[in-house]
A = this chain, B = another copy of it.
Amino acid sequence: MENQQVGSIHFQIDFSQPLYEQILDQFRSSIAKGEIDLGDKIPSVRELAQALKINPNTVMRAYQELERDGLTEKRRGQGTFVTASKEQVDHFRHQLAGKYIESFILQMENLGYSWSDIKTYMDKKHLGN
C-alpha cells in the first residue's frame, strides 16, 4: 500500500500484482495518456527504487519491458527517456487496445454472450457516459 510521488508521476503500489508489472503499467498509462511528455527523462533506476523502497533490479525489469514496448530509450550514463516519436506511442496504444478487446470478447463469449449481447450490455452499463 505505497503511495508515492516521484517527479511528475504518481505511484500506487500494493501486493495484488508483481511490483515490476505495476511499475510497468503505470508508466505505460502515463505515457499513453500524455501525462509524461515525449522525450522526457524518467527517474533513474536507483532513484525510483529508493523512492518506492524496492530493489533496483525490480525497477530494471520494468524499464527493460518499457523499452521493448518502444515507449522508452536508454542512454548509457544519461538515463531513460520517453520516446520522441508520437507514432511509436500510438502504435503501442493501438496494439495493446487490440489485445484487450480480443481477450475481453473471448471472456464474454465463454460466458455465453454473443457479440450483440455485449453491445447492448455495455450500453446499459454506461448510460450516462
Residue in contact with A111 in the complex, picked from B29, B105, B126, CB distance below 8 Å: B29
Interface string of A89-101 (1 = CB under 8 A from B): 0000100111011
Using known A-B contacts A28-B110, A101-B121, A101-B122, determine if residue A115 contacts B96 with beta carbons closer than 8 Å: no
Count the copies.
2
Q: Is the CB of B112 within 8 A of A32?
A: yes
Residue in contact with A125 in the complex, picked from B98, B110, B116, B125, CB distance below 8 Å: B98
User: Besides the contacts A100-B111, A101-B104, what 16 more A-B pairs have beta carbons closer than 8 Å?
Assistant: A25-B110, A29-B110, A32-B110, A32-B112, A33-B112, A34-B112, A93-B111, A96-B111, A97-B108, A100-B104, A100-B107, A101-B122, A104-B104, A115-B126, A115-B129, A116-B129
